[in-house]
Structure 1
Amino acid sequence: MIDEIECPDCDGHGFIRSPGKGSGERECEVCHGEGWRPMTADEQDAAAERQAEDAMSEPPMSLDEQHARAWAQKQELKS
């Protein structure tokens, strides 16, 4: 599992632009200018939950598979 994420505070840039003219940029305090930071416990829980949901979901079907399944269901209805 990925234990680092792109820092949402600085959008992965590592710096934050200060509002106003001539203010310049300052280093992001959350990621310390790296652009990436460790995930919080809540973020790790949410990522694990999403991963489990994805693993349980049915894999996507191609159009050929959808057509074959629909044809088989239609044949079952006829008999």
Structure 2
Amino acid sequence: MMAYDETPEIECPDCNGHGERNTAMPSQRARYLRLDDVSPDDCTEPCPDCGGKGWRPMTDEERDDRAADAFSDMCEGEPPITMPERQAVAWREKQGVR
């Protein structure tokens, strides 16, 4: 469970989700291989934004954007319905099919 003062984490948008960022320069290991033996993983470096984890804390701007999106979805979307209401609607639809 997340404590109140903790900042939620998001997947880092600047890397591949595994904490690696693509570069044009191959790694040290790839410099000693033939061109045919170089894999795409040899042209990556650790992402400085997330520290190589793939996840990073949300910025205040991102938190504000998410809160604004959630509020607009709440105002513009359909009102939430309870499970008994859903079951009643499904029962009425099923009775109409018979």
Q: Structures share a fold, TM > 0.5?
A: yes
Describe how 1:1-79 pairs up with structure 2 within 5 A: 3-20=8-25, 22-23=26-27, 24-59=43-78
**Superposition RMSD on alpha carbons, in Å?**
2.4
Task: Report deviation, 1:45.
Answer: 0.3
CA distance in 1, matches of 2:77, 2:44: 46
SS at match of 1:11: coil
Q: Percent identity?
A: 43
Alpha-carbon displacement from aligned partner over 1:5-53 (angstroms, at most 9, x marks no partner): 1101103121112114x34321000001111100000000000000011
CA distance in 2, matches of 1:41, 1:11: 23
CA distance in 1, matches of 2:74, 2:16: 29
CA distance in 2, matches of 1:38, 1:11: 16
Structure 1: unaligned runs, 5 residues or longer = 61-79
SS at match of 2:50: coil
Alpha-carbon displacement from aligned partner over 1:55-76 (angstroms, at most 9, x marks no partner): 112318xxxxxxxxxxxxxxxx
Scaled by the length of structure 1, the TM-score of the pair is 0.64
Scaled by the length of structure 2, the TM-score of the pair is 0.52
